[in-house]
Chains A and B, each alone.
Chain A
Amino acid sequence: MTQPAVKVRGLAKRYGDVPAVRGVDLDIHQGEVFAILGPNGAGKSTTVEILEGHRTRDAGEVTVLGVDPGHPTRAWRSRLGIVSQTANDAAELTVRETVRHFAAYYPDPRDPDEVLATVGLTEKAGSRIRALSGGQRRRVDVALGIVGRPELLFLDEPTTGFDPEARRRFWDLIGGLARDGTTIVLTTHYLDEVEALADRVAVIAKGRVVADGDLATLGGRAAAGASVGWVEDGVRRTVETDTPTRTVAELTGRFCGEIPGLTVTRPTLEDVYLSLVQEGSRA
């Protein structure tokens, strides 16, 4: 086992009298895509900003790439990539100038032109950033986040404002970075994005982690009851069962083969997420 990329124990942060984070524990392994989910105001942005070294904490132990982010150094910063929520800076520079300039900050940067090709901005390389669409601007943000060849990449709502095709391309890009060994911490509201990208998930509600683990088993998802549906005598029927396989076998016997309109559904990530957040908010 290698050292975790991010290790958090008992993290706490208050704003005045308002507790924003109340004892968060996290382990993010090297090379995985880890998603942090939660409603607005649940403390996930605060948590991520503490990990990024942008915010101080009140209590808890945190190491990010083996370093306490409360004392960021340049050498540590050069190993991180951060794609924050939308910025409107550098409007008068061209895309290529901006990426080249940021590449100069790092000891071992990627080739700026390759980065532009990776995010699909080669054709826009000579355009002023002012002239880009929202989705193109976001891809510049991603380019600046990865140009330093980060070991750990933070992505905050990365695909807001993307059209569906651009999102798919972006997912391919992130998948490629993950295959190359980059650890990725993703915060997003899009659960389909989480299913497409993440290996593991933590759900934060009211400043606590209410569930974490593999995507397939999150919140007892795999063990949860399934719903088996079919059509009989022209009527749609469903049963809730913990043993869907047996139900299907019975139906197979009853219909002597093909079952009309058969569906077997487990709770979607969205169902699990919503119930977790509701329980977490009540606690």
Chain B
Amino acid sequence: MNETTTAPPAAPTVAPRAGRDLPSSLRLGWARAGIELKMFFRERDSAIFIFAFPIILLVIFGSIFSGRFEGTGITVSQVYVAGLLGAGVMTAFQSLAIGIAVDREDGTLKRLAGTPLPRQAYFFGKAVQVLVSAAIQAAVLLAIGFTRYDLPAPADAGAWLTFAWVALLGIVGSALLGIAASSVPRSAKSASAVITMPFVILQFISGVFIPLAELPEWVVRIASFFPLKWMCQGFRSVFLGDAGASLEPAGSYELDRVALVLGAWVIGGFVLCLTTFRWKGRRDG
């Protein structure tokens, strides 16, 4: 190398290479996002399933229960669109919990841990991937709702603002909860069972498929601890408007509480991530 005989003992190759900086975290975050999206869409069967599932549910439920709620003019299908939007946002939880458990087992995390990739770039990539997939799901559901189920588009900017903050708080909270939950399954194989089961139960008790008014009170009380019930409630306020408020068990959409609970889940999810996240599998010690 550039050692000279007159210089004191030096370590030319050990000194950091001068003049070349590490790539920024943000740039690498976007690079990760690109690669995550590529992998997501190329896993064609699971990508199609994720987008088709809420649509199929909407069509099935919409054709089984085609009535209206008395005295409101609101159709059952409209309630389902709002509920499925909530469930769609919360699939961020499911796909992160399973996706990271798989990354941990197939060697992705270990390989990345051996490179100069900053950790936040990995999470940024995952976050963009779930945001994009949630946005597509929501767009498809809304398009079907507007065109086939007479879902009234929110009239004023205020309602769209509510839509935006419910969706944003919901997806961030769900994503953080998903990252934390990724440490629960013992292996990638068990991950989809361990994660999906509680998620499906949560959907049933949170008013996605069955209106809250028809559920026993203690069930609703349990659901009230989790974010999904509040997301659905927020979305109903956007799309069903004042006419639908009378259908809520509380008689109103309780938007202040929606904000409170979803905000608490964002903070709680962040704390859970920091305290429970493991880069290695349980068997790796």
Please report A residues at the B interface, Cβ cutoff 8 Å.
1-3, 5, 15, 30, 52-55, 65-66, 74-75, 77-80, 82, 84, 86-90, 92-93, 97, 101-102, 104-108, 128, 144, 148, 151, 181
Are A97 and B35 interface neighbours, CB within 8 A?
yes
Are A84 and B110 interface neighbours, CB within 8 A?
yes
- Whether B108 sits at the interface, judged by CB under 8 Å, is yes
Are A75 and B13 interface neighbours, CB within 8 A?
no
Q: Point out the residues of chain A lying under 8 angstroms from B14, CB to CB.
A: 2-3, 5, 30, 65-66, 151
Q: Point out the residues of chain B lying under 8 angstroms from A101, CB to CB.
A: 31, 35
- Whether B42 sits at the interface, judged by CB under 8 Å, is yes
Q: Contact mask B49-81 → A, CB, 8 Å, 1/0? A: 000000000000000000000000000000000
Give 19 pairs: A residue, B residue, CB < 8 Å, sorted on A.
A2-B3, A3-B14, A65-B14, A66-B14, A74-B116, A77-B114, A80-B114, A82-B114, A86-B107, A88-B106, A89-B106, A89-B107, A90-B39, A92-B38, A102-B115, A104-B27, A107-B23, A144-B111, A148-B116
Are A148 and B107 interface neighbours, CB within 8 A?
no
Main secondary structure of the interface of B (DSSP, over half): loop
- Whether B202 sits at the interface, judged by CB under 8 Å, is no
Q: Point out the residues of chain B lying under 8 angstroms from A79, CB to CB.
A: 16-17
Q: Point out the residues of chain A lying under 8 angstroms from B17, CB to CB.
A: 79, 107-108
Are A74 and B107 interface neighbours, CB within 8 A?
no
A100 to chain B, nearest CB (A): 10
Checking A86, A88, A148, A181 against B13 with a beta-carbon cut-off of 8 angstroms, the contacting residue is A181
Are B118 and A74 interface neighbours, CB within 8 A?
yes
Across chains A and B, which 4 residue pairs bring their CB atoms closest together, nearest first?
A87-B107, A82-B114, A89-B108, A3-B11
A77 to B16, CA, bound (A): 11
- Whether B256 sits at the interface, judged by CB under 8 Å, is no
A84 to B115, CA, bound (A): 12
A65 to B101, CA, bound (A): 33
Checking B1, B10, B38, B116 against A105 with a beta-carbon cut-off of 8 angstroms, the contacting residue is B116
In the complex formed, the residue of A with least CB distance to B12 is A2
Are A97 and B111 interface neighbours, CB within 8 A?
no
| Residue among B13, B38, B113, B285 facing the most chain A CB atoms (10 A cut-off) | B13
Q: Point out the residues of chain A lying under 8 angstroms from B117, CB to CB.
A: 105
Are B116 and A106 interface neighbours, CB within 8 A?
yes
A266 to chain B, nearest CB (A): 36
Q: Point out the residues of chain A lying under 8 angstroms from B10, CB to CB.
A: 2
Checking B9, B23, B42, B116 against A2 with a beta-carbon cut-off of 8 angstroms, the contacting residue is B9
Q: Point out the residues of chain B lying under 8 angstroms from A148, CB to CB.
A: 115-116
A97 to B285, CA, bound (A): 32
Please report B residues at the A interface, Cβ cutoff 8 Å.
1, 3, 9-14, 16-17, 20-23, 27-28, 31, 35, 38-39, 42-43, 103, 106-108, 110-111, 113-118, 285
Are A30 and B115 interface neighbours, CB within 8 A?
no
B102 to chain A, nearest CB (A): 9
Are B106 and A105 interface neighbours, CB within 8 A?
no
Are A181 and B114 interface neighbours, CB within 8 A?
no
A107 to B27, CA, bound (A): 13
Are B28 and A105 interface neighbours, CB within 8 A?
yes
Q: Point out the residues of chain A lying under 8 angstroms from B28, CB to CB.
A: 104-105
A86 to B31, CA, bound (A): 24
Q: Point out the residues of chain A lying under 8 angstroms from B21, CB to CB.
A: 107
Given contacts A1-B9, A87-B107, contact A93 B116 (CB under 8 A): no
A108 to B12, CA, bound (A): 16
In the complex formed, the residue of B with least CB distance to A106 is B116
| Residue among B12, B27, B114 facing the most chain A CB atoms (10 A cut-off) | B114
A75 to B114, CA, bound (A): 12
A144 to B9, CA, bound (A): 33
A25 to B265, CA, bound (A): 49
Q: Point out the residues of chain A lying under 8 angstroms from B1, CB to CB.
A: 181
A77 to B107, CA, bound (A): 18
Are A75 and B16 interface neighbours, CB within 8 A?
yes
Other than A84-B110, A89-B106, give 11 A-B pairs with Cβ distance below 8 A.
A2-B9, A74-B118, A78-B22, A78-B116, A87-B111, A89-B107, A90-B108, A97-B38, A104-B28, A107-B23, A181-B1
Are A54 and B23 interface neighbours, CB within 8 A?
no
Q: Point out the residues of chain A lying under 8 angstroms from B3, CB to CB.
A: 2
A65 to B15, CA, bound (A): 8
Are A104 and B31 interface neighbours, CB within 8 A?
yes
Q: Point out the residues of chain A lying under 8 angstroms from B39, CB to CB.
A: 90, 92-93
| Residue among A78, A93, A128, A181 facing the most chain B CB atoms (10 A cut-off) | A78
Given contacts A3-B14, A15-B285, contact A92 B9 (CB under 8 A): no
Q: Point out the residues of chain B lying under 8 angstroms from A144, CB to CB.
A: 111
A7 to chain B, nearest CB (A): 11
A15 to chain B, nearest CB (A): 6
A128 to B108, CA, bound (A): 16
In the complex formed, the residue of A with least CB distance to B279 is A54
A67 to chain B, nearest CB (A): 9
In the complex formed, the residue of B with least CB distance to A141 is B111
Q: Point out the residues of chain A lying under 8 angstroms from B38, CB to CB.
A: 92-93, 97
A18 to chain B, nearest CB (A): 11
Are B115 and A77 interface neighbours, CB within 8 A?
yes
Q: Point out the residues of chain B lying under 8 angstroms from A15, CB to CB.
A: 285
